[in-house]
Amino acid sequence: MPKRAAIFIDRDGTLIDDVGYIKKISEVRFYPFTIEALSLLQPHFCFFIITNQSGIGKGLTTEDEVSVVNQYIVETLKKEGINIEEVYSCPHKSEDDCACKKPKTQFIEKANEQHDIDLNKSFIIGDHPSDVQCGINAGIFPIYLLTGHGTMHQHEIDAETVVCPNILEASKYIITKHNLV
C-alpha cells in the first residue's frame, strides 16, 4: 500500500470560530466554508486534527469537556462525508514544557507511526505561528490562515510562509499546487 499524504489541521480559528476555551458543543461554530474546504481535499488526503487546549492545564476547561467538543466536531464532519482519523489534543500550558504542544511535533510523529504517512506530501494548516513552526519542525509544508488569530499574529511569521485568507483558499492552493483537479 502506498503511503498516504495527510493534512494536519488546527481546530480553533481554522475549522471553527476561535471563541476562547470552548467547554460545550453549543459554543462550536463551524466556518461556513469548512465543509467545502475539507470535501475538496478528502479524496486525496487523510485528516488529523492537532489542537492545543491549554485551558485544561489552566483549569478553565476539563479533559472531558474538550473530549466531548472534539467528538462533536468529528461526528458533525462525518455526517458531511469527512473522515478525521484522529484528534490529538494537548492539555498542557506552556510552562509545563510538555512534548506535545505545538510547535512540538510529537503528535505528527505519533500519526506517522500509526498511519504510515507520506510526510513529504503532507500539510499543516493553522491560524497561529505555532502551527507554521510545528510544520517546519516536522518537515511538513505549513499554510498560515488569516481567520482566528491569523491577522493578529501575521507579523510574526516569515515572509516566505504561504498565507491564505481561510481554510477553503488553503484547500484550493493545495489542489492547484499538486495538480489534483
Residue whose CB is less far from Mg ion, 3 or 86: 86
Q: Residue 90: how many CB atoms within 10 A of its CB?
A: 21
50 makes contact with Zn ion (CB under 5 A): no
CB of 162 vs Mg ion, minimal distance in Å:
17
Residue whose CB is less far from Zn ion, 92 or 149: 92
Rounded Cα gap, residues 74 and 54, in angstroms: 20
Bridge pairing between strands 84-90 and 6-9: unpaired
Is position 12 annotated as part of the catalytic site?
Answer: yes
- For residue 90, give the C-alpha cell: 494537548
- For residue 123, give the C-alpha cell: 500539510
Which of Mg ion, Zn ion, none binds 98 (CB below 5-8 Å, type-dependent)? Zn ion
Residue whose CB is less far from Zn ion, 98 or 163: 98
- For residue 133, give the C-alpha cell: 513552526
Which of Mg ion, Zn ion, none binds 12 (CB below 5-8 Å, type-dependent)? Mg ion
Is position 118 annotated as part of the catalytic site?
Answer: no
Rounded Cα gap, residues 124 and 87, in angstroms: 14
Q: Which of residues 76-135 bind Zn ion (CB under 5 A)?
A: 90, 92, 98, 100-101
User: Residue 79: is it exposed, middle or buried by C-beta count within 10 angstroms (0-12/13-18/19+)?
Assistant: exposed
| Nearest residue relative to Mg ion (C-beta) | 13
* C-beta separation of 103 from 75 below 8 A: no
Residues binding Mg ion (CB under 5 A): 10, 12-13, 127-128, 148
Residues labelled as active-site residues: 10, 12
Give the residues lining the site for Zn ion (CB under 5 A): 90, 92, 98, 100-101
